[in-house]
A and B are shown apart, each in its own frame.
Chain A
Amino acid sequence: MELIKPGSKIPFTRYRKIALIVSTIVNLAVLAFLFVKGPNLGVDFAGGTIVQLKFQQRATIPDIRQALESVGLGGSTIQEFGQEGAFEFLVRVEKAGVEVAALSDQMKKALAGKFGADKVEIRRVEYVGPKIGEDLRWRGTISVIAATVMMGVYIWIRFASAFGARFGLHFGIGAVIALIHDVLVTVGALMLANYEFDLTVVAALLTIVGFSVNDTVVICDRIRENLRKIRRESLETIINTSINETLSRTILTTGTALLVLLALYLLGGAVIRPFAFALLVGFTSGVYSTIFIASPVILLWDKSFKK
Chain B
Amino acid sequence: MSERIVIDPITRIEGHLRIECEVNQGKVVKAWSSGTMWRGIELILKDRDPREAWIYTQRICGVCTTVHAIASVRAVENALGLEIPLNAQHIRNMIIAAHGIFDHIVHFYHLSALDWVDLVSALKADPRATAALGQKLSGWQHNSYEEIKAAQEKLQALIDSGQLGIYGSGYWGHPAMKLSPEVNLLAATHYLQALEYQRSINKVVAILGSKTPHIQNLAVGGVANPINPNSQSTLTMERLFYIKTLIDEIGAFIHEVYMQDVAAVGAFYADWTAIGAGVTSYLAVPDMPMNTAGTTFDLPGGYIPDGDISKFQEIKSFQDTFFRDGVKEGIKHSYYDGDWTKHPWEEETAPKFTGFQEDGKYSWVKSPTFNGKPAQVGPLANVLCMYAAGHEPTRKYVTAVLNTVSSLAGSKVGVPALHSTIGRHAARAIRCALLHDTLGRQWQLLVDNIGRGDYATFNPPTFPKGEQRGFGFHEAPRGNLSHWVVIADGRIKNYQCVVPSTWNAGPRNGDDAMGPYEASLVGTPIADPQKPLEVLRTIHSFDPCLACAVHLVDGRRQEISRVKVL
A and B are interacting partners: no
Chain A positions within 8 Å of B, measured between CB atoms, are: none
Chain B positions within 8 Å of A, measured between CB atoms, are: none
